[in-house]
Amino acid sequence: MRILYIAGLNRMVLFNKLIPKALREIGFEVVEFDWNSVLKFNKVLNILPRKKVEEKINSELLKKAKSVKPDFAFVLKGEPIFKETLVQIKKETGALLLNWFGDDPWEFPVFSGPVSKYYDFFFTYDPYSVSLYRDAGHKHAYHLPYGYDEEVTRELSLTKREEKKYSCDVAFIGSHYPKRNELLREIKNKFDLKIWGRGWKGTDCQDVYQGSALYGLNMLKAMKATKVLLNIHKGFGEGVEASGKGLNLRVMEGAAVGAFQLSNFQEDIPKRFVPGREIELFETWDEAVEKIGYFLEHTNEREAIGKAARKRLEKDHTLRQRMQEMFEIIEKER
């Protein structure tokens, strides 16, 4: 069976490449289409307007689909793909159209909700959002949590220079949002904190901002080097309509490197990792600060939780398992 895998391999290039790897491991023939490789020069020169670039992306994608004639067209998010292109791929190739979407529920009203009806199967990492799709009339919307590749981190090691660069008591890797800023402002006054991500320049956390975002192996190394990997889901503290109930990719990435992770509570996390044994959770700022202090003082306990998280991922949460789950659902429901 042949899959046309469609994703923009830019900042998330490592994760985006691990998905087709997992698909090949379970027996699929995979052809990849990277929409960011189309008119790549324009990212530097910025000559062409966005509409022209997207038109070229869609033209090239349709051409690729016609030549590949896939059984499945698998899109990861798919922001630049026109609805008309999806219709044409379906018409020209007969492929089943699949989407695995990772920005719910906040993208549902403006993007994922309207576009979902053009896909035969729509998978979301957020269990809360499944009801949004179903209520909108999509009968083949399903919850599919993130997973990660256990092999890519197995031999991950840091040079002495990297250890110096990334080591800290607490690391936060993610974009700036006001609620995140509230907690991190408090933490930086009490612990050795380092922040990587977009939007932190010019904030009152700038003194611990490391000057850039982190992606790929560099991000995994920073997770491995810190004592406490802090995870604050987007929308935390603003209600389920803003945060959903799913666990973000950071939970799986942290587990893959065996990091001790302290995350805000999300309903789906205890269904995947055992709190207190494989991950630690908080519901208030005070609880987060208290737990950071406790686990910085209890090294053996902290390290045991990180190791247990890695074992849990290897057992239950590999990307290979997620892809198997996806196609078991498709086979059952198509």
* Average pLDDT score over residue span 29-45: 83
* Average pLDDT score over residue span 65-76: 97
pLDDT at 47 over 90: no
Q: What is the pLDDT of residue 84?
A: 97
Q: What is the pLDDT of residue 46?
A: 74
Tell me how far apart the alpha carbons of residues 309 and 331 are, in angstroms, rounded to a whole number.
31
Q: Give DSSP secondary structure letters for 225-244.
A: HEEEEEE--TTTTS-HHHH-
pLDDT at 273 over 70: yes
* Average pLDDT score over residue span 282-287: 95
Longest Cα–Cα distance of the chain, Å, equals 61
Closest CA to 289 of 184, 204, 203, 179: 184
Confidence of residue 44 (pLDDT cuts 50, 70, 90): low
CA angle 79, 81, 329 (to 5 degrees): 80
Tell me how far apart the alpha carbons of residues 256 and 229 are, in angstroms, rounded to a whole number.
12
Q: What is the pLDDT of residue 42?
A: 62
Strand bridging mode 280-282 / 96-101: unpaired
> What are the structural domains, with CATH classification, of the chain?
2-147+318-333 (3.40.50.2000), 160-316 (3.40.50.2000)
Confidence of residue 268 (pLDDT cuts 50, 70, 90): very high
Distances (CA, A) of 90 to 66, 87, 115, 117, 328: 10, 5, 14, 13, 21
Q: Which amino acid is at 93?
A: T
Q: What is the pTM of this model?
A: 0.94
What integer best gives the mean pLDDT of the chain? Answer: 95
Span 302-323, pLDDT tens digits: 999 999 999 999 999 999 999 9
